[in-house]
Structure 1
């Protein structure tokens, strides 16, 4: 699992940018406008996301369109899935234990 992915997504504005890009690729100006950020701030966040491999830039005439790259998110989901299974197993055992306690009371 790439720690850089988690680090990039830990900042709320960058997570909001990723959420916006889930719907469609967008230019910097639109991202900034939708999130009420200034353009230099937005560009800085996009640079971090790009360095983490989460977004890619597509030049279109004089605009730079940012598009989400699914691979790092898929890798994160795969990593999280192993932890999900572990916790589900533990919760199932806890549920069984609590049910046995409840039956002993009655």
Structure 2
């Protein structure tokens, strides 16, 4: 399965966002996903399994808990795919950064308000 197919699902994307923050137990993931999407523990487990089997997440036992963490390998595939599109937005972002810097410089060099009292 292609990396974008895996992350095309909003639940899996949200799980990846959680795991990107830090490792979470399966119970913690279920709690957040159930609250946000209203799906069952079994459904969340299926999403975790898809992420794990496709290399997006790793799992390690910690006592009775299963701790999930993000794996970056498949994300590199997405990054490589996006490379062909970066030329469309990077110059615009560079131009925006230049304009922001000019505005900051102009504010820094301009005199403050004049007190007429």
The TM tier, using the shorter chain, reads: 0.7 to 0.9
Say if 2:3 and 2:77, in contact at 8 Å, map to a contact too: no
Shift of 1:73: 0.9
Structure with greater helix share of residues: 1
Runs of 5+ in structure 2 lacking a partner? 93-117
Task: Write out the 4+ residue segments of structure 1 that deviate beyond 3 Å after TM superposition.
Answer: none
Q: Please, which of 74, 95, 114 is the counterpart of residue 72 of structure 1?
A: 74
Larger relative contact order, structure 1 or 2 (CA cutoff 8 Å, min sep 6) = 1
Say if 1:14 and 1:45, in contact at 8 Å, map to a contact too: yes
Shift of 1:88: 4.6
TM-score, with normalisation over the residues of structure 2? 0.66
Distance 2:89 2:7 in 1: 25
Q: SS where residue 53 of structure 1 aligns?
A: coil
Q: Output aligned runs, 1:6-45, within 5 Å.
A: 6-36=4-34, 37-45=39-47
TM-score, with normalisation over the residues of structure 1? 0.73
Change (3 A) 1:29 1:88: closer
Say if 1:53 and 1:69, in contact at 8 Å, map to a contact too: yes
Deviates more, 1:15-24 or 1:28-37: 28-37
Q: How many residues align?
A: 87
The structure that has the greater radius of gyration is 2
Aligned-residue CA RMSD in angstroms? 1.9
